[in-house]
Amino acid sequence: MMQITLLQSSDLAVCSRAIRVCWQSQDKSDNGGERDRELIDRVGNKNKHASTLEHLFYTFYIQGVSRACLQELARHRIASLSVKSTRYTLKELKGEAPFETFDDRAAKYLVATGAEAVDRASLAALENLRRLLTQGIANDRAKYALPESYKTELAWSANARSLQNFLRLRTSRSALWEIRDLALAIFDALPEDHKYIFAPHIEPESAGA
């Protein structure tokens, strides 16, 4: 099960303050209240002066996604990533007993797809990897035998403009199921009073897909 934790987010007033610099209307601010929230939506979303949304910044701690999902997430260039390194952490497998079934112990390392034959193949790859490591093969070489289902974690930061783009593309029904789950979980993790900026970018029917 993936887990998303919001590590930090900007105050909405940072964005409204930046917008008000353009019109020199700082005296009309209500310090991030209803008037400022409406201003952000009108200027940043409706008037498409979207660069103002770049002042809002978010950092998430994402755990339990596959490296297949990471590969797609990493395509979003307007974001910052710090990813768990397999080069340094593969030794976590060395102390494990052989993997024989897709139990909770295997699920600590692998994302299950629900397709039994695929999950069996992932489990075999995990066991192969464990054996390579116990034979003394270095992480730098053994990592080339990693299955795409291998779980990873990362810190991921993006500004609101880029996050809108990410949510629009990745909550779409045409997106990979796992990154769609991730996009919806990221939306859920946002501060409640920020969600109105992003809600129009969520594909509604994707929640049940």
Ligand X SMILES: Cc1cc2nc3c(=O)[nH]c(=O)nc-3n(C[C@H](O)[C@H](O)[C@H](O)COP(=O)(O)OP(=O)(O)OC[C@H]3O[C@@H](n4cnc5c(N)ncnc54)[C@H](O)[C@@H]3O)c2cc1C
Least distance (Å) between residue 168 CB and ligand X: 9
How many amino acids of this chain bind ligand X (CB under 6 A)?
9
The residues that bridge with 28 in the sheet, in sequence order, are none
CB closer to ligand X, 63 vs 165: 165
Mask of contacts with ligand X, 148-187, x by CB under 6 A?
--------------x--x---x----xx------------
Q: Does 78 bind ligand X (CB under 6 A)?
A: yes
Backbone angles phi, psi at 128, to 5 degrees: -60, -45
CB closer to ligand X, 138 vs 209: 209
Give the CA diameter of the chain. 69
Q: Does 48 bind ligand X (CB under 6 A)?
A: no
Secondary structure class of 8 (helix, strand, coil): strand
- Determine whether 35 is an active site residue: no
Measured at the alpha carbon of residue 129, what is the angle toward residues 124 and 130, in degrees to the nearest 5? Answer: 100
Least distance (Å) between residue 47 CB and ligand X: 18
Q: What is the DSSP string of 130-187?
A: HHHHHTT--HHHHGGG--TTBEEEEEEEEEHHHHHHHHHHHSSTTS-HHHHHHHHHHH
Give residues in contact with ligand X (CB under 6 A). 75-78, 162, 165, 169, 174-175
